[in-house]
Structure formats: structure tokens, C-alpha cells
Structure 1
Amino acid sequence: MTGDREQDIRRVRDQQTVLYGAPLGDLIARLAEDYGLSRGRLASILGLSAPMLSQLASGRRIKIGNPSAVQRMQRLLEVAPDVRAGRIAAADAVARIESERPGSVLTRATDRLPRQGALDVQLVLRWASSAEDLGRAAELLSADFPALAEVLRVYGTGSAADAEAHFEQVRPR
């Protein structure tokens, strides 16, 4: 019987990886560590009960049924690199995510456009070079190409929140 249960858990974790990119137990543990949260507090932030979060983490449940909880988890995962790097305090990030209006499933893409666009630009720049090098490049370009220097500074060395605000400001409507 124990072998069957272990097989079931392995199957659930595999399905979670397909749905979320990693088993939920791993994502939950990473978020709790990154933000310094208990599982109970993390469940509260996500809008789940602590027992449900436990069942998801242990592989007894496959997926999160609440789309708003999935969105909040995604936001926590998006901001986590800035929290780990010290660019934003964990408590500030959590407060900001808790204050965001949960979008409906139908309008999710529109709500995410500035956030995703900014994150995509950040990912490309940070793949290309270190924050220190991007800052130095911005300094070199600032006299002749101030707008490009600003992009390098904001997206290359700034926080996700700074990038989102800039992206929202400059994107065509």
C-alpha cells in the first residue's frame, strides 16, 4: 500500500510540474523561505486554507482551484528575485501583492501586460549582462542617448516595481 501512495504522490507532483513549472511543494517551500513566511501565513496571502495548502504541497491534491490564488502565487514568484536580492523588502512585497485587486480570469491578460512586458525586458537585459555592467553602460550612454540609458538603469538595475511603472508610463496605448 505504501508503494501505491508514493506512486500517486509522484504522479501528482509530475502533473503539478506540467501545470506550474515545478511541484507545488517546492514552490511553496521556496516562497516561504524567500519571504520568511510560515505556511499558514502563505496560505492566507494566497487565499487558501492552511489544510488545502498542505494537501497541495504534500501531493495529495493536484491543482489550485482558485484562479485568484494562482495569480497571487505567480506575483509572489515574480517578485521573489527582487526580495532575495534585497531590492524590495519582503513585507513590502507581500503588502503590495495583498493590496492588488484580484483580476478575473477573463481580464487577466490585460492586467498582466505591463507587468509581463517589464519582466520580459528585465529578463533579456539581465541575461545579457550583470546589473553592475548595465549601470556602467547607462553612464556611458547618458550624455548622448539619455532614453536608452534610462532603460538600462530602470530595467537592468532597478526593481520589478520600477520596471513595471516605467513600462506602464512609456508603452503605447
Structure 2
Amino acid sequence: MVSVAEDTVARNRALQTEWYGEPLGDRVRPLLGRLGLSQSGLAGVLGLSAPMLSQLMSGQRAKISNPAVLHRLMAVEDMVAAPAFGALAPAEIKERLAEIKADPAATTSGIRMAASERAPVARPAHTGEQQAGRGPADPARLIQVLLREVASAAEIEAAAGLIADRYPELAEVLRVYGTGRTSEAEAHFVRTVLKETLSETVRDRTVMP
């Protein structure tokens, strides 16, 4: 017979899979090994208490309530997944984790500011100066955080399906940023910004005397 506690954990893990792609324990544990951090150490980077991170990982809690925490978690995941990560010295890893920890909360104003600059965000994957976790400099990640805070992956996919026939480009945006990988969202953002910037340049040159 399944106890109430076991049923709650199973339900929370199912919700985490729907919201975050997989249970948070499965996302976080590999990071601990790659970074050589304890749960308490990673919790400090993310801006959580150690007990709270433990509850999220064990399924005692389902949702990351602060979008900035999810933003930092994605930044840590991107750093660890980068091909250059294996060549980083411990001091460099520590420095980059400190940058992610200091990252301000992801906000819609940050998205607007980054988008208004019209600057392409293509960059080497975590080589040279660390970019991950700097909200206003990475609008694709901010859009991901915003969408995933207001709706689950299943809800975003359902919304995309409803509008796909009439508004295919909008449906693509929902899917890429709402349920896709960060690298896919960044590539889509770069393509979109470059396309619009090029169109504006051609239009400006056309109307010049």
C-alpha cells in the first residue's frame, strides 16, 4: 500500500517532469558531481536554503517558486554542459558560480531592455568571459524563465497546438522558448533579431535619397 508521503512525492515528481522536463533531483544530482559541490553549496549559488533544495530534489516540494532560482539553475546547467567546462580550473569554476549567484532576478523589464538594444546574442559557449547567468545579456534565457514560470510544458504545448494552423510562427516561439533547450532558444533569438535588423537596414537604404 502506498503511503500518503510516497503518493505526494510521486505526484510532485510528475509535476516537476511536466514543468521542468524531468524531476529536479535528476537535474541537480549530476551538477553536484560535476561541480564537486554539496547540496548546501549549490543551494547557496541558486539562492535557496539547503533544506529547500533538498525538498525539491526529493520531491517533497514540487515547484521552484522564485523564477530567479530557475534562471540560475539553467545558467549552471549550461556552464556544466559546455564543451570547455572540462578544461576549467577549480578557481575558474568557483568564479563563474559566483557570477551566477550574483545574477539579479530575471524580469520582464530585463527582456525589454535586452531586446530594445537590437544586439545579436551569439557567443562562444562559455569560453572567455562568462556570459551565463547575466540576465539582461541573455534575453533568450529570460524568455524561457518567464514562460516556464507562468505555464507548464504541457500547457505551453497545448497552447501552441491551438494556434499552430493560423499562427505557425507564434506557435514555434511558444515551443522553442517554452519547451525547447536553451541552445535552441538562443539560436532562434539570434536568427530572429538578425533577420529583423537586416530587414530594417535594407528598408533604410531603400528610402535613402
Q: TM-score with structure 2 length normalisation?
A: 0.51
SS in 1 for 2:93: helix
Residues 24 and 90 (structure 1), Cα distance of their counterparts in 2 relative to 1, 3 Å cut: farther
Residue 126 of structure 2 aligns to which amino acid in structure 1? A
* Identity in percent: 34
User: Are 1:12 and 2:18 counterparts?
Assistant: no
1:81 Cα shift?
1.8
CA separation in 2, counterparts of 1:17 and 1:108? 28
How many residue pairs were aligned?
128
Aligned equivalent of 1:104: 106
**Contact 1:16/1:63, CA 8 A, preserved across alignment:** yes
Q: Could you tell me how far apart the structure 2 residues matched to 1:78 and 1:90 are?
A: 17
Runs of 5+ unmatched residues, structure 1 = 119-154
Contact 2:79-2:85 at 8 Å conserved across structures: no
State the distance in 2 between where 1:95 and 1:70 align.
20
- The two structures, once aligned, show a CA RMSD in angstroms of 3.3
Give the superposition deviation at 1:98. 2.5
d(CA) in 1 for partners of 2:78, 2:7: 31
Q: Displacement of 1:160 after TM fit?
A: 2.7
Determine the structure 1 residue equivalent to 2:126.
160
AA matched with 2:87 = R
2:175 is matched with none
| 1:56-109 C-alpha deviation (Å, 9 max, x unpaired) | 111111111122111110000111123785133454234224225324321454
Describe the SS at the equivalent of 1:161: coil
- What runs of 5+ residues in structure 2 fail to find an aligned partner? 132-137, 139-189, 198-209
CA contact (8 A) 1:35 1:83 kept: no
Aligned position for 1:72? 72
Taking structure 1 as the reference length, the TM-score comes to: 0.60
